[in-house]
Amino acid sequence: MHSYRQPGVVLTDRRFTVPLDHGDPGGEQIEVYGREAVAASRAAEELPWLVYLEGGPGFGARRFVGTEAWLGRALRDYRVLLLDQRGTGLSTPANRQTLPLRGGPREQAGYLAHFRSDSIVRDCELIRPRLTGGAPWTVLGQSFGGFCAVRYLSAAPQGLKAVLITGGLPSLDAHADDVYRAAYPRVERKVAAHYARYPQDVERARSIAAYLAEHQPESAGHRLTPEVFQSLGIMLGSGNGSHQLHYLLENAFVRTPRGPQLSDAFQEALRNATSFAGHPLYALLHEAIYGQGERATDWSAERVRAEFPQFDAAAAQTGGAPLLFTGETIHPWHFDVDPALRPLRETAELLARRTDWPVLYDPVRLAANEVPVAAAVYHDDMYVDTEHALRTAAAISGLRTWVTNEYEHDGVRAGGPRVLDRLLALVRGEA
């Protein structure tokens, strides 16, 4: 272990060896990394543990500096483990460079089938006694981390003292098709709100999409298509995302001797915003997190999009309607345009066709839950459907919800200590 200091906090690197397949504990092992954080003034004290599960899938735990965002509030009461879920951050990586070590696409897909919430929870249950001596701990799950927390309640509630969920109550039984069928209308509303706020962006977006369709530029090997541009709509699910999108669009074109062209700066910004080089598991496993049972996900977002023709970029150009951005969706073309994903196209196809996903949630156990649980449900959340979330909340005994439209999906970060403070009050019976 290696410890070091930042303002107000002592950090310690922790590494854990866990089975790739928890059904075969003596088989291949991988490494999972966690960053312990404790208030500098309490570093010598025995404190209860809180483990943070980041959203995603495919993102390592957020790299805080000092006590920013919610972390300072947590450190008043806990030692915090910021867990890099398997395959992310400093844990054993899974990407285009490392996955060929597994073999071909079939072997890679089989390997990645062990990177969902069921395996993440079993990692946690191996790590917990090593840190707590066997005592239960508190879980804070953001977005996909909340999905993991509900799996935790289903599979190993004995390991939990309390559960705090922010923007991450999954449907217990919805297929991916149901998730995206509910999502596209929410995204359309978010886009309409953006254009109402910044009406000048209607023509800008249409002009950018037309330029991309005609010229098909590349940036560092990344093909910039109208569909890639549309995927910037994922920004509209965060608190300041609409404003950031506007600033990105406002300087898209420059005058050149050959007429107006998309600037190098804009093309680079578009590539950076849409590349999966830093989080390929997000693309590979995004639909798989909804997989349960024998029905394949089968590129659900792409298939369901056909039910919403207003999202077609070409149709918007010819019909004169505003270009609609898209949201948290993964499509087959992502694996054609992005060099970080291109070598993994066949692997992604195999995952999309998989028909033997384990069931993730146990409604009977959840109905008998005795662990204190509190969940922030962001009423206008672009990423997680409110109706699905509230139906799940009603199915978990004792769960207390805080339904608010004060925040977007990133409320636990954007709201500083307020969101975590509210959830702690709910699980402690103080609110």
HSE, CB side, 13 Å, CA atoms: give it for residue 272. Answer: 7
Structural tokens at position 192:
């309409």
Dist CA 33 CA 14 (whole Å): 6
Q: Which of 114, 279, 286, 409 is catalytic?
A: 409
| CA–CA gap between residue 104 and residue 84 (Å, rounded) | 26
Which residues make Cβ contacts (< 8 Å) with residue 85, sequence separation at least 6?
32, 53, 54, 56, 57, 60, 61, 91, 120, 123, 148
Strands (E), 167-296: 218-219, 222-223, 253-256, 259-262
Between CA 397 and CA 406, with CA 400 as vertex, the angle to 5 degrees is 150
CA pair distance 284, 305, nearest whole angstrom: 19
CB distance 87 to 99 below 8 Å: no
- Whether 201 is catalytic is no
For the sheet containing 9-19, what is the strand order?
2-6, 9-19, 29-39, 79-84, 49-53, 137-142, 160-166, 373-378, 400-404
**Which tokens belong to 309?**
């023709």
For the question of residue 143 being annotated catalytic, the response is yes
Whole-angstrom CA distances from 70 to 65, 146, 282, 429 are 11, 16, 24, 20
Number of helices (H), then strands (E), belonging to the chain: the values are: 18, 13
3 HSE (CA, 13 A, CB side): 8
Mode of pairing for the β-strands spanning 49-53 and 9-19: unpaired
Q: For the chain, first and last CA: distance in Å?
A: 39
Q: Which of 117, 119, 143, 154 is catalytic?
A: 143
Q: Is 13 a catalytic residue?
A: no
Q: Copy the structure tokens of residue 72.
A: 């300072």
DSSP H or E stretch at residue 257: none
Residue with tokens 């505003």: 322
Residues known to be catalytic: 143, 356, 409
